Structures are given as C-alpha cells and as structure tokens.
Amino acid sequence: MNSTKVEECLEIDVIQVLSREDDCVVYQISNETGEVIMTSYQVFPGIQIIYNDVHIKKCSVRMESEHIGGNIFEINHCREGRIECEVGGEFFYLTPGDMSINRKKNTGNDSYFPTSHYHGVSVLVDPDLAPHCLSCILDDVNVQPASIIQKFCGESESFIIRNNKHLEHIFHELYGLPQKIRKGYFKIKVLEILLFLGGTEFKQMGVRREMYSQAQVTLAKQVCEFLSTHMEKHITIEYLSDIFHVSKTQLKNCFKGVYGVSIYAYIRTQKMQTAAILLKTTERTILDIASQYGYHNASKFAKAFRDVMGVSPKQYRNEG
C-alpha cells in the first residue's frame, strides 16, 4: 500500500503530512489526548516500514474497504510503552520487546495507549502487491509473504510473541539507523524479519498471551479516570474496592494488566509528573507543592520525585 493510498484511507481526528520525499512520508496525528508521529518508508512494492512515536491516549483510523485488501498484515514491535490490541472482544497488551502479527481490518482501527507513551516499528505487508516470493530479490530467501500471515494467524486476527531474544536483536538494529545507509539497510532487515518468521515455528515455544475481557478493561480505565480526577486525595485500594464494588484482588489484577504497574505506582507517577509541571510553571515552594499531593515530609517527597523523574525537585526546577 503506497503512501498516497494511505492518505486516502485515513479519517482521523486531525492528520497532517509534515514532510514528503520519494520513499518517505511523515504524518502527524493529533487530538485532545496528544499526538502521534508516523514515519513511513516504502521498502519494496507492497512493503513499508513505519516508525511509530506515540504520545497520545487514543486515536482512531478509519479505512474504506475499497482502499485495503483483505490480505494485508502488519508486524508490530514494541520498543517502549504499551499498546492495547483487541481480538474477538478480548484484549491483550504489547509491552517492550513484544511482537505481534495482525491482520488489517477493512473497517478501521481504534488504538489505545494506556500510558500515553509508545515507540515501536511496524512492517506493513500487502501480499497482493509484494513480490510473490522473496527469492526474486535475494537468492535462498525462499519466503512467500502471503504464507507468513497464514502460518501464524490461520483464521484468527493476530499472534503475539513475548520478548523473544532473537527477534529483539533483529528489531533493535532498526532503531537509530544512519541516514546514509537507510534505504539499503531497510531492505536487508525486511528480508531478515520475513526469513526468520518463515523459518521459525513459534507455536512450539509456548507463546503466552494474557487476555482481558471487555469488563476487566473497562474497570481498569474507569479506575484510571477516577484517579486522574482525584489526584490530590489520599486514595487506598480499599476505598477503590468499595467505590467500584469489586474485590481488591480483581481490582489490582485488572489495573496492572492494562497499565503495567500497580495502582499505587501509577498514583505516585501521576502525582510526581503533575508536581513537576508546578515546579516549572509556578514560584510555589517545594514543600507547598509536596503538601498538595499528600507529602508533608520534604525528604519523602524528594525521594518519590527522584524515583519518578530521575532528579531532585530542586534540581528539576533549576534546570529551567
């Protein structure tokens, strides 16, 4: 699917083409929850590499059926952050080092990023436009792109591989490429990825896919929204359990499954990040800001702040 065709398919909150070259288009997607930068490179006919730099909570992509074939699939590698994936009404989450192979749906794609932070690479393959067999590009690479999706997904929509060291090595080299070798290196890496997937039986590795129901995901998101709007209060697990009428164990498991951290760790991170904004934008004392978020001991606040932000509150403010 070429870059022009991508633009025809997209109906997003706001999308802007930031730059365009012969083989590269940079898109910006934005809405009230943040922005996404997608850098798309055409590698072979029917095969693209897309760098996804995400600082957004959620975004929507709608693709008209006449613009996308039913055979298109996407190989996604997560470098940082988390992304939510839905399969048959259940949900799983890609975390750093994970890879998924997904069929692209005709109707659209609503993407949710629990921590508003995600960086990764996607290889988008249209078997109808890609070379039938990659041996026509390089001898002995006897892989048919159309066979990859059938091998791993069959009749399902996706397949996930958790933090495999061999794949991590392959994808790691795609991050931070020198500009002058980019075109040739992309070709080598795409061939390597497809050859590796074509010759490896991951189904024998006991791939683990933690799935969460719609009800579990909804609960976690409602708790998150409650925490975000009551950041200045002292909130306990017991209190949340009473408010949402669920057991403490269910509450903790659902929340960590979606957001990747405990409720208390999430609360602390959100408080410190909000306190950091106040340190930069106001002249209030550090102790005054600490008290707003329930820290009446300066040393305890300084430790919590350093754990989250990497420096002390004073250093953070002085850095300008």
Q: Return the pLDDT at 281.
A: 92
pTM for this prediction: 0.79
**Residue 121: count of CB within 10 angstroms of its CB:** 20
Sheet holding 158-161, edge to edge: 15-20, 24-31, 34-44, 47-55, 118-125, 73-81, 99-103, 158-161
- Contact assessment for residue 3 and residue 42, using Cβ atoms and an 8 Å cutoff: yes
Determine the topology of domain 3-205 in CATH.
Jelly Rolls (2.60.120)
Q: If you write DSSP's letter for every residue of 125-182 in order, what string do you get?
A: E-TTTS-SSGGGTSTT----HHHHHHHHHTTSSEEEE---HHHHHHHHTTTT--GGGH
Determine the topology of domain 263-320 in CATH.
Arc Repressor Mutant, subunit A (1.10.10)
Give the domain ranges of the chain: 3-205, 213-260, 263-320
Q: Return the pLDDT at 1.
A: 34
Q: Return the pLDDT at 256.
A: 93
- Contact assessment for residue 174 and residue 49, using Cβ atoms and an 8 Å cutoff: yes
- Nearest Cα neighbor of 66 from 140, 8, 127, 24 is 8
DSSP assignment, residue 134?
G
The pLDDT averaged over each successive group of 10 residues in the chain (320 residues) is 42 78 91 93 93 92 51 92 85 90 69 92 92 69 80 80 84 87 90 86 58 93 93 91 96 93 93 92 93 91 94 89
Q: What angle do CA 138, 167, 59 make, to 5 degrees?
A: 105
